[in-house]
Structure 1
Amino acid sequence: MASTSKSRGLLISCPEHPETPLVEDYHAGDMICPECGRVVGDRVVDVGTEWRTFSNEKNNKDPSRVGAAENPLLEGGDLSTMIAIDPTSAQQLDEFGKPMYRNRRTVNSADRALINAFREIRQMADRLNLPEMVSERGNTLFKQVNDTKSLKGRSNDAVCSACMYIACRQEGVPRTFKEICAVSKVSKKEIGRVFKLILKALETNVDLITTGDFMARFCSNLALSQKIQKAATYIATKAVDLYLVPGRSPVSVAAAAIYMASQASEDKKTQKEIGDIAGVAEVTIRQAYKLMYPKAHQLFPEDFKFHTPIEQLPTQ
């Protein structure tokens, strides 16, 4: 493919059109004047990325000249090239009788287990629509856990799921246990159990989750306006400050706050709709809401415009 270039700083130009930028033909290695077609320079070195395949040849094999990037978390990444030199062996020659070049990579059993775990973590991140940095953090956590050998006997699926949960919280995009459970093969109880074991084994911790960590995502998935989201965030924070919901998880408090804010606005959502998005049972939302309702007049922000007065809100 040809592209316009000012001769890459070289002191060459077309004698007939010295002010015209030359066109660099990477395929032929020539520099051509677009005005008259004169080849001003030839055999230009292509400084682009080398990536060649041989798919146009008669055989169906497609050996690439470059492989995947090395993973620093793997130890057995010995990448080497071997050339078949025994002319009597037909298996070492291609159909034209030429020696075959092969890329050989030795992967030990430990690295093979890590590769499978990294693939599982990547798939969970993709299903949750998470950025690459989260899966990379999950890979690092799994590698650290694997090196300590403190969770032997636990399934890799459970460890992968717990590492993904920790990675989400450490990267500031927390997900609930139910959300992790939905994209993995492990139960919520097992993920929670392994999560605690990993924190103990690595001697690390995670920031406490708050209602604000989930509020924007829940409201967005429910198609609620910014006004309702702001009110729900204020209600949840105020309920925690007033110690109205002791022992309740931030997810259930956030769900109850969204229910209260939506019921007071024109865009009302049912407990079932909110529970489906937040992964919380309707009875859990109802219990948290009942604790908050008696102090409802203290929970709403002062500038909130009520579509339904507090007195007419559902009592449960």
Structure 2
Amino acid sequence: MSTGFKCRNCGSNEIEEDNARGDRVCMNCGSVLEDSLIVSEVQFEEMGHGASAIGQFVSAESSGGATNYGYGKFQVGSGTESREVTIKKAKKDITLLCQQLQLTQHYADTALNFFKMALHRHLTRGRKSTHIYAACVYMTCRTEGTSHLLIDISDVQQICSYELGRTYLKLSHALCINIPSVDAFDYLICLLASQYLLERI
């Protein structure tokens, strides 16, 4: 959703602003432009059985998470959304993978932004989450120019290099990520992954 803002990193105006998460993210390059947005107004939407408040209650004592309040059928608030749960799990698993590869938090944050872009464009559906996380970390390694190879990540995750290569190719092409040219070994892995994909069709 375009919000009229421009990304300070790539100049794109394809910015997603999510009031529930309280952040503003560039869907082109994955940069988090703001991460502490607070909307103070109350909005209502018309439902078949009456009006309903939009948003979530955040307690002054809480650390920022959504809270249900009320009792029984009069309970207000939806709790943690499915998307938030998905992103929270991705952050945990991507951070763990980066730690195993001895990558700093910067790489984990960048990989998580790639994941959010893939999630926003519905590219995670029908794919194993471990493959998506690994592909996002590998895209980060490639764009940041680290010495990690595809096979290093597949060894840590204990997943097939061909399957990981296929997921990486699909995500990088669908997200239009500008990946630097590959070395011979990675090119061979990607070529074999493409052939494996063609044989499965």
TM-score, L = length of structure 1: 0.36
Whole-Å separation in 1 of the counterparts to 2:177 and 2:81: 29
Task: Determine if contact 1:165/1:174 at 8 Å carries over to the other structure.
Answer: no
What 5-or-longer segments of structure 1 have no aligned partner?
A: 1-69, 83-100, 211-247, 253-316
Residue 185 (structure 2) aligns with: 249
Residue by residue over 1:40-84, the C-alpha shift from the partner in whole angstroms, topping out at 9 and shown as x without a partner, is: xxxxxxxxxxxxxxxxxxxxxxxxxxxxxx873689x957216xx
Task: Determine if contact 2:150/2:186 at 8 Å carries over to the other structure.
Answer: no
Residue by residue over 1:97-154, the C-alpha shift from the partner in whole angstroms, topping out at 9 and shown as x without a partner, is: xxxx666722211110111011111001101111222111101100000000134100
Tell which has more relative contact order, 1 or 2 (C-alpha 8 A, sep 6+).
2
Q: Which has the larger radius of gyration?
A: 1
Is residue 200 from structure 1 mapped to residue 181 from structure 2 by the alignment? no
- 1:251 Cα offset (Å): 9.7
Residue 309 (structure 1) aligns with: none
Residue 137 (structure 1) aligns with: 110
CA RMSD of aligned residues (A): 3.1
Return closer, same or farther for 1:129/1:80 CA change in 2, 3 Å cut-off.
Answer: same
TM-score, L = length of structure 2: 0.55
Return closer, same or farther for 1:184/1:105 CA change in 2, 3 Å cut-off.
Answer: same
What 5-or-longer segments of structure 2 have no aligned partner?
A: 1-20, 26-34, 38-54, 67-79, 189-201
Residue 282 (structure 1) aligns with: none
Return closer, same or farther for 1:120/1:141 CA change in 2, 3 Å cut-off.
Answer: same
Task: Determine if contact 2:149/2:186 at 8 Å carries over to the other structure.
Answer: no
Task: Determine if contact 1:79/1:103 at 8 Å carries over to the other structure.
Answer: no
Is residue 183 from structure 1 mapped to residue 143 from structure 2 by the alignment? no
Residue 128 (structure 1) aligns with: 101
**1:204-283 to 2 correspondences below 5 Å:** 204-210=177-183, 248-249=184-185
Partner SS state of residue 65, structure 2: strand
How many residues of Structure 1 are paired with residues of Structure 2 in the alignment? 128
Partner SS state of residue 164, structure 1: helix
Residue by residue over 1:178-225, the C-alpha shift from the partner in whole angstroms, topping out at 9 and shown as x without a partner, is: 110122243211110100110221122310134xxxxxxxxxxxxxxx
Residue 160 (structure 1) aligns with: 133
Residue 5 (structure 1) aligns with: none
Name the % identity: 20
